[in-house]
Structure 1
């Protein structure tokens, strides 16, 4: 067996910027894919459209994500992880603020993008299993974060269902906001849910 030739400092220095550029390209592609899904929907969000929006070639896009399904499931997962991180960092002073933050989670561009992906996955066999697994994982993580933020004791009867009801309500408000700006009604609902949760969980 021959000896392994060590890399020189110059080679290591050259490799680092290439890795940085690769990570930056991957992130631009993920962010562009989410934006395209939210704005254009699944049918019009091709790899070429995403690559153009990200400012990279189609070949570069396929180097990072060999298939369209790889690109879009990775994109939604990436932003979902960013969303979870933001929630973990949230320091709300009241349950009403927690409710508002969770509802915001379901009324932004990520939810709109995920909605298009869900619709596509309902009749695209290549997507279905991957999206279902991703959404199950994101849903469990969101539930855990909500329990912590709300200081909810799930050993008490009905508390788990109360927290899950909040998340289901937030998803419903997100759906209502897809076609029209539902801000006014949503704010009133969020205030009322904050009061109800405070009473139910105290």
Structure 2
């Protein structure tokens, strides 16, 4: 979708938006922007629980930016955010992630949070990490995400309430078996805690 409009926050310009692709099923977006301060073009991805720039697209040359977008962006969107199994890391496969019956104990929704990511459809993010699980309430920008860093070989989690992040240590481990145990025991209580904080923030 072509936009060609300036986005402002608190009365200040933050990005000139060129176009946006949106997945209407889960609300994820990929957008092309010009930063009015640095005068650099970039691609930013918003998958609900996380927003980040695709650093390989950052440039101050419009011609180079347009060329990279035309040559590479459609494939990246398709492989990384639509047909994610096409780009599933060999390291995750060797870790045994596809072998766990995740649907047996990971509900599709709970306490107003939708499961937007599950381990068999992990999303490549940044810094050598994949998001392997995400429960998200888009209306309040609150939820829980679980990541796996392929460089450190560890799982770690983050919670957000009104988009404000906090680390969650209930799922810190390098063992897939220990992660499964922790999720079976602690996933719903942690989501209950996030829901309580979310609802408290709405009433304040």
TM-score, length-scaled by structure 2: 0.29
> Which structure ranks higher in relative contact order (CA pairs < 8 Å, sequence separation ≥ 6)?
1
Look at both structures and tell me which one has the larger radius of gyration over its CA atoms. 1
TM-score, length-scaled by structure 1: 0.30
Q: Which has the higher strand share?
A: 2
